[in-house]
Amino acid sequence: MAHPKLGFTFASLMPLGPALAIETAQQASALGYRSFWTAETTGPEAFSLLAAAGAAAPGMDLGTGVLALQLRTPMVTAMGAATLQALHPDADILLGVGISSPVVTSRWHGVDYGERPLARVREYVTLVKACLSGEKVDFDGEFYRVKGFRLGLKLGEKKPKVVVGALNPAMLKLAGEVADGVLLNYLPASHVAWSVEQVRAGGDAEIYGYVHAGVGDREQGLDKARRDLFSYAVVDAYAANFRRAGFGDEVDEIREHHAAGDREGALAAVSDRMCDAIDVLGDADTVRDAVRAYVDAGVDVPVLMPLPWGGDRRQVITATMEAAASA
């Protein structure tokens, strides 16, 4: 039987196209998954994809994991979440937002990444919640100013919940303080307890956690895992978290090679140990045990991020979903 709060994210499958979101949402629902999530970078737009997935698989909660907050004003984000809530009034709408990375915001979208991320996230979440209240909103902050905004949708008692994607101590504490939930990502199960401790220093936000796992040949998948983890190890926030999780030697070597323009050397510096801890590949029992490990470490809502690597990708996804649902 699936964990009672088990979720599924389409984030790792976005390049395969939005039609697959419909199929996987239906499949996830049939297997006992409770929530369906997606991310947003340059592929499918999050709210429209979730609206379609929710229509295809009624009864599932719907989550963004996460939206880069620089790309939408708090008002537009509140409107998107409220629209999704109005279309799916019985679902929990989990509005995941985060500070993202300079690559996504500046390079791909041409929007300033910005400074003072903690202050910006605090202000953003405060304003989103105010907009979702349905009351008239006047706000004069450091990053956002609005006068006379009132959400033009009438929501019932159920309103979207705000979830903050967080990695580092101050952001985890802030998420615990101002959000309904915090989404953990790209960390080994062994680093969950420390992360939860930081959240609890701020408040009692629910702990969501992406579990990166795939049923498949570990040896064949290691190269893809190395490329995946390399792309995050060169981002400062993720690098700091990898170091705290016990991969400081790997991070230092990865970044040294990357700074020298040696991509192959940087990829080689991603150790098997690091891959096995974060991008878990193996048989069905390995995937099932990975989900259990995150739950045992303190994740309230485990969310499977399937790794569609090796062979028939659709078959790999199905086998992975079934394995995680047996946890």
pLDDT reported for residue 327: 87
What is the DSSP pairing of strand 61-68 with strand 301-306? unpaired
pLDDT digits (tens, 9 = 90+) for 212-262: 999 999 998 999 999 999 999 999 999 999 999 999 999 999 999 999 999
Q: Are 286 and 280 in contact (CB under 8 A)?
A: yes
The answer to whether the beta carbons of residues 152 and 65 sit under 8 Å apart is no
pLDDT at 44: 97
Residue 88, pLDDT above cutoff 90: yes
Which domains can be identified in the chain, with CATH numbers?
7-214+283-325 (3.20.20.30), 217-278 (no CATH)
First-to-last alpha carbon distance for the chain, in angstroms, is 7
> Is residue 1 pLDDT above 80, yes or no?
no
User: What's the mean pLDDT in 98-125?
Assistant: 95
Report pLDDT for 310: 78
Report how far apart, in Å, the C-alpha atoms of 100 and of each of 36, 79, 84, 305 are: 20, 20, 22, 18
Structure confidence at residue 3 as a pLDDT band (50, 70, 90): confident
pTM summary value: 0.97
Mean pLDDT of the region 99-112: 94
Phi and psi angles of residue 97, each rounded to the nearest 5 degrees, phi first: -130, 155
Instruction: Read off the pLDDT of residues 274-309 as tens digits, 9 standing for 90 and up.
Output: 999 999 999 999 999 999 999 999 999 999 999 999
Return the structure tokens found at 184.
């953990």
How confident is the model over 45-63, as pLDDT tens digits?
Answer: 999 999 999 999 999 999 9
